[in-house]
Amino acid sequence: MVQKSKSNVIWKRLKKNKMAMVGLTITIGLLLIAIFAPAIVPYDPYTVDLSQSMRAPGQEGHLLGTDQLGRDQFSRLLYGARISLQVGIITQSISMVIGIFMGALAGYYGGKVDEFISYLINVFFAFPSLLFAIAIMATLGPGLNNIFIALGAVSWPGLARIVRGQVLQLKEQEYIEAIRALGGNDFKIIVKHILPNCMAPIIVTATLGVAGAILSEAGLSFLGLGAQPPMPSWGLMLSMGRTYVTTKTWLTIYPGLAIMITILGLNLLGDGLRDALDPRMKQ
């Protein structure tokens, strides 16, 4: 066994965890749906056909029924996966860039820099994050692009705090001192030697963060602050179906299920990754 790379070991551990594999399957399925949505939808999700309004699931070839404007709900849900994943991935990317940058800076340099960034993190933590996002959305106006900004801006402090803690611990390691003694500069030390060693918690936080962002988007869209009609956002669909929640139940059940399954899948995957990446789990 000369080359037993670390990712191989992690993959083996992840494979043993059944729930994580369920999560991974859901996540990959969702990705495929999002990518190939235009090719697999039976109807155009935007086409209004009032003659087909409020069909129950299964009626006239509409697998999950239609909404009040006669749009095919199944097609809209598949397109909704695109919006959800877009929101999840883009907001998490924004949050990761800010979070890792801030956390690494605070942890590595300490002193005044750390004090300032930690203070900022605490200020962010003092607000309920959804409320904060709502405030930002209210200022910027509704729309999907502003959702990226608002959710990105409120979700970085958690990651920053985790990265800061990791960096604080890692920078005292002897191999960091050794690199310094070999003539490495701060940038190289942080990017090449410290950050790769705290990848595990970053990956876990980001996976769980994607789920959180999707949920927040649904929430904001439900409140009318996020995606705007006619976008097939799951939160927006829930909101539209709310009026008929007692009579046309499929209008709320299926978008709700879509959200639930997505979040469940991502959370299972995140938890599984956390276990698999934990060095104490060495067998």
Partner 1 sequence: MKRPVIEIKDLKTYFFVEEGVVKAVDGVSFEIAEGETLGIVGESGCGKSVTSISIMRLVPNPPGKIVGGQILFKGEDLLMKSEADMRKIRGNEISMIFQEPMTSLNPVYTIGDQIAESVMLHQNLTKREAFSRAVEMLDKVGIPASEKRVHEYPHQLSGGMRQRVMIAMALSCNPKMLVADEPTTALDVTIQAQILELMKQLRDEFNTAIMLITHDLGVIAEVADRVAVMYAGKIVEYTDVMTLFQKPGHPYTIGLLKSIPKLTGNHKRLEPIQGVVPSPLNLPQGCKFNNRCPYAREKCFEKEPELVEVEKGHSVRCWFHDQLQ
Residues lying near partner 1 in the complex (CB under 8 A): 2-4, 6, 111, 173-175, 177-185, 188, 192-193, 196-197
Nearer to partner 1 by Cβ, of 139 and 282: the residue is 282
Q: Please give the structure tokens belonging to residue 180.
A: 């310094």
Task: At 108, list the tokens.
Answer: 């590595």
Q: Compute the least distance from the CB of residue 3 to partner 1, in Å.
A: 6
> Tokens 């705007």, residue?
228
Nearer to partner 1, 176 or 240 (CB): 176
In this structure, are residues 40 and 78 in contact, taking their beta carbons and an 8 Å threshold?
Answer: yes
**End-to-end CA, the chain:** 16
* Smallest gap from residue 183 Cβ to partner 1 (A): 4
C-beta of 179 vs 264, nearer to partner 1: 179
Residues 6 or more apart in contact with residue 136 via CB below 8 angstroms: 146, 149, 150, 153, 154
- The H or E element spanning position 274 is helix 250-277
Q: Least separation, in Å, of the C-beta of 179 and partner 1? A: 7
Measured on CA atoms in the order 164, 165, 171, 175, is the torsion positive or negative? negative
Which C-beta is closer to partner 1: that of 136 or that of 167?
167
Q: Nearer Cβ to partner 1, position 246 or 280?
A: 280
Q: Identify the residue whose tokens are 């059944």.
A: 18
| In contact, 209 and 155? CB cutoff 8 Å | yes
Write the DSSP symbol of residue 56.
P
Smallest gap, in angstroms, from Cβ of residue 279 to partner 1?
A: 9
Instruction: Specify whether the backbone of 47 is left (phi greater than 0), alpha (psi in -120 to 50) or beta.
Output: beta
Would you call 110 helix, strand, or coil by DSSP? coil
Note whether 83 and 233 are within 8 A (CB): yes
Rounded to whole angstroms, the Cα distance separating 50 from 67 reads 9
* CB of 282 vs partner 1, minimal distance in Å: 9
- Residue 107 Cβ, how far from partner 1 at the closest point, in Å? 15
Residue whose CB is less far from partner 1, 2 or 50: 2
Cβ 119 to partner 1 shortest distance, Å: 20
What tokens appear for 174 in the block?
């002897």
DSSP state of 242: G
Please give the Cα distance from 47 to 209 (Å, whole number).
33
**Shortest distance in whole angstroms from residue 156 CB to partner 1:** 24
Of 29 and 184, nearer to partner 1 (C-beta) is: 184
Q: Which is nearer to partner 1, 90 or 190 (CB)?
A: 190
